[in-house]
A and B are shown apart, each in its own frame.
Chain A
Amino acid sequence: MIYFDNSATTKPYKEALSAFTKANEQFFGNPSSLHHLGMQADRLLQEARKQIASLIGAEVEEIIFTSGGTEANNLALKGAALANRHRGNHIITQQTEHPSVLHACHQLEELGFQVTYLPVNASGRISIQELEAALTEETIAVSIMHVNNETGTIQPMKEISELLKKYPKVLFHADDVQGRGKVVLDLKEIDLCSLSAHKFHGLKGSGVLYKKKGVKLSPLLSGGNQESGWRSGTENTAGIIAMAKALRLTEEKRSDGVAEMEEIQQFLRSELEKINGVRIHTPKTEAAPHILNFSITGVKGEVLIHALEERGCYLSTTSACSSRQKKTSTVLVAMGLPAAAADSSVRLSLSYENTMEEAQAFLRVLNETLPKLTKVQR
């Protein structure tokens, strides 16, 4: 099996899984319980919090555990909007965000907020000038994803935060679900940042919202005031432990792994470019090392995915989240691609576990599969 769908989800590390099992066996107590079992679970949870904080360059109290990236994005946007309503009612985001940001924004629009969806250029990046022009007296939050989940495009986060320094009222939220562990993001100038464990070999069902000290949110979940009141609900101790472990392992692999990943990506890119009709949509520069989005003229993305799957290679059409809706990739359309190219686009996404041999094997499979597909479809 060649698994090249790591932006959809990654295979959990064995170590993370065994930490999950062990934590559930030995530290199953409710961290809020007064007795010893509860306290042990609570201490373990705090150690995990410490570890995650130090790995992402944050303070312990800046970590809010959530059920994943979607909840983190929802909490960041709706939480910030509702808590800062008295300061203004305008939010800025961009057209190629993840649905959990876009749809949260749509809901906020129904509640009376104004949302600006910035366009992107052919590489998928927003323009700082357009962002600056969009800022108004009413603007309370800007939400821009660090690495695009479909194309790997890196947004100019540093320039955005530099610009927003001049607007102290505006909170800056970054969706770093795809970037974490692969592309470094300095949280110093960022107010809110979403992470998801299963994108870095943790388990589904856990994530983090980084919330800079002093930033006010209106919680989405009310209840027992866990997570300092920002996110009620009994903590998913074992999932959080597995996330802390997976993040540590990922960060350890990153130092050497990125270079190798870039090498594999570069190899795949240059080999794919040799194939007739291939068009690569992931920009050459300012893109994450793990994603390659491409289309092949005349071959529907979905058909290609299934054909490759028969030979044991796993890729995605656009993002896994939107593929079920059978819609043309809004990300690629926003980048100015014709619908036909967007429809035939597929996404190949790597992890540090992938090897050059797999890349070579994948290309062999692709080259063998393509003639059959083009014959039928033409």
Chain B
Amino acid sequence: MNYDRILIRYGELSTKGRNRKQFITKLKKSILLSLKEFPAITVELSHDRMFIHLNGVPFEAVKDRLSQVFGIQSFSPVVRTGQDIEEMKAAALELVKRNFSPGNTFKVSARRSDKQFELDTNEINYAIGSHVLRNMESLTVDVKNPDINLLVEVRKGGVFLSCEKYPGAAGLPSGTSGRAMLLLSGGIDSPVAGYFMLKRGVEIEAIHFHSPPYTSERAKQKVIDLAERLTAFGAEIKLHIVPFTAIQQKIQEQVPENYTMTSTRRMMLAMADKIRQKRGGLAIVTGESLGQVASQTLESMRAINDVTSTPVLRPLVTMDKLEIIDVARKIGTHDISILPYEDCCTIFTPPSPKTRPKLEKVQRFESFVDFEEMMEQAVEEMETLQLPNEKIMDEFADLL
């Protein structure tokens, strides 16, 4: 007995009124993206649910991936039989057996949209229910609150049975809430911030500042891997890699040591805002968590945030480091993040950066150089990668 299709139930989506159709289309795209390894799979849309046609792909192979796609409330694998009561009974029994633990209660909920079928709803319930009960020990019926609710749907094309229900990732489908730029350093926090934004349907474009030779190609690869990891949640991600060496060197020359960190962050935010403008984004996302490091005190945030009036979203601002690490583990970015390569944030960090920088001071320090032009040029020279990156696969394809 193999599963034929998967029933997808929408979450918050059903409350979205006129945007609903767009939401459903985006969800379909997310699902197909996360299951792209299985080209045989197709998706059928219907008004209050969606079906994934497995076309021979085992349910187990797609289950974990599906549970990561935002916009799905829950999903159930469905078995298909012919319109034959004996076949239906056998499939029902096997389904219940698969999901049974001693002491469970169950009920059969039949629906018959094909009225030509020989039995009516009650007769189906009875025929299947009694067959299952006869063949199983310590299973009892509870029609109000069953542990196993066996759904049986008789349609023209066949009969569909299911009794498993898996929770989805909830949230909103990718790309339904507009686009934002994510500052992605390579540390533990920023990918987690990206994950939370993805959960709310935000399309992410990641920005990474690369300072060769101070930061290595491996640090850059790590960021590519992190962004790639985030695409598992059903979203394509663009990654912009901005050359940052010249600006960082200039900052070191011009700004007093204890203010270099503040200036660096201001430049990063200002450049992210320029890229956002170019790319039609609506907000900037950072992985800042209040008080975690010198740049993440309220004073620092104010001094840094001063460069833009664009909303800067900080989904981790109230989270503890350990809570963030837990999420990073869960979403599979933690082990990539802890690889020990110097990144743009760590390499130029002064021994004692200002934890309470004064806005007026930093503005004055920066006023002696035309950072504006340098920033324009860096944004001009940035490199953009589309993830998931098919090119990487091609490069090694004939070797593997």
Interface residues of A (CB under 8 A from B): 19, 22-23, 34-36, 39, 42-44, 47-48, 51, 61, 241, 244-245, 248
Contact = CB atoms under 8 A, between A and B. Distances in A.
A363 B400 CA distance: 37
Contact of A34 (B216, B335, B399): B216
A39 B399 contact: no
B396 A44 contact: yes
B204 to A, nearest CB: 23
Interface string B42-63: 0000000000000000000000
List the 8 closest pairs (A to B, CB-CB), nearest first.
A19-B399, A47-B396, A244-B400, A51-B400, A241-B399, A44-B396, A39-B217, A39-B218
A43, A44, A244 interface centre (most CB from chain B within 10 Å): A43
Contacts of A42: 218
Contacts of A248: 400
Given A244-B400, A245-B400, A248-B400, 4 more contacts: A19-B398, A19-B399, A39-B218, A43-B392
B221 interface: yes
B218 A245 contact: no
Contacts of B396: 43-44, 47
Contacts of B400: 19, 47-48, 51, 241, 244-245, 248
Contacts of B217: 35-36, 39
Interface of B: 216-218, 221, 335, 392-393, 396, 398-400
A37 to B, nearest CB: 11
Contacts of B393: 47
A22 B335 CA distance: 30
A245 B399 contact: yes
Contacts of B398: 19, 22
Contact of B221 (A43, A51, A61): A43
A252 to B, nearest CB: 13
A364 B395 CA distance: 48
Contacts of B221: 39, 43
A236 to B, nearest CB: 14
Nearest to B397: A47
A303 to B, nearest CB: 44
Nearest to B37: A54
Nearest to A27: B399
A34 B215 CA distance: 11
A104 to B, nearest CB: 30
21 contacts: A19-B399, A19-B400, A22-B399, A34-B218, A36-B217, A39-B217, A39-B218, A39-B221, A43-B392, A43-B396, A44-B396, A47-B392, A47-B396, A48-B400, A51-B400, A241-B399, A241-B400, A244-B400, A245-B399, A245-B400, A248-B400
A36 B221 CA distance: 11
Contacts of A43: 221, 392, 396
B102 to A, nearest CB: 15
Nearest to A36: B217
B218, B335, B393, B399 interface centre (most CB from chain A within 10 Å): B399
A23 B399 contact: yes
Contacts of A22: 398-399
Contacts of A48: 400
Nearest to B393: A47
A44 B218 contact: no
B361 to A, nearest CB: 38
A53 to B, nearest CB: 12
Contact of B335 (A19, A35, A61): A61
Contacts of A44: 396, 399
A180 B399 CA distance: 21
A44 B400 CA distance: 9
B373 to A, nearest CB: 31
A150 to B, nearest CB: 33
Nearest to B221: A39
B298 to A, nearest CB: 38
B68 to A, nearest CB: 14
A19 B335 CA distance: 29
B395 to A, nearest CB: 9
B390 to A, nearest CB: 13
A178 B160 CA distance: 40
Nearest to A59: B332
A51 B217 CA distance: 23
Nearest to A247: B400
A189 to B, nearest CB: 14
A47, A48, A61, A245 interface centre (most CB from chain B within 10 Å): A47
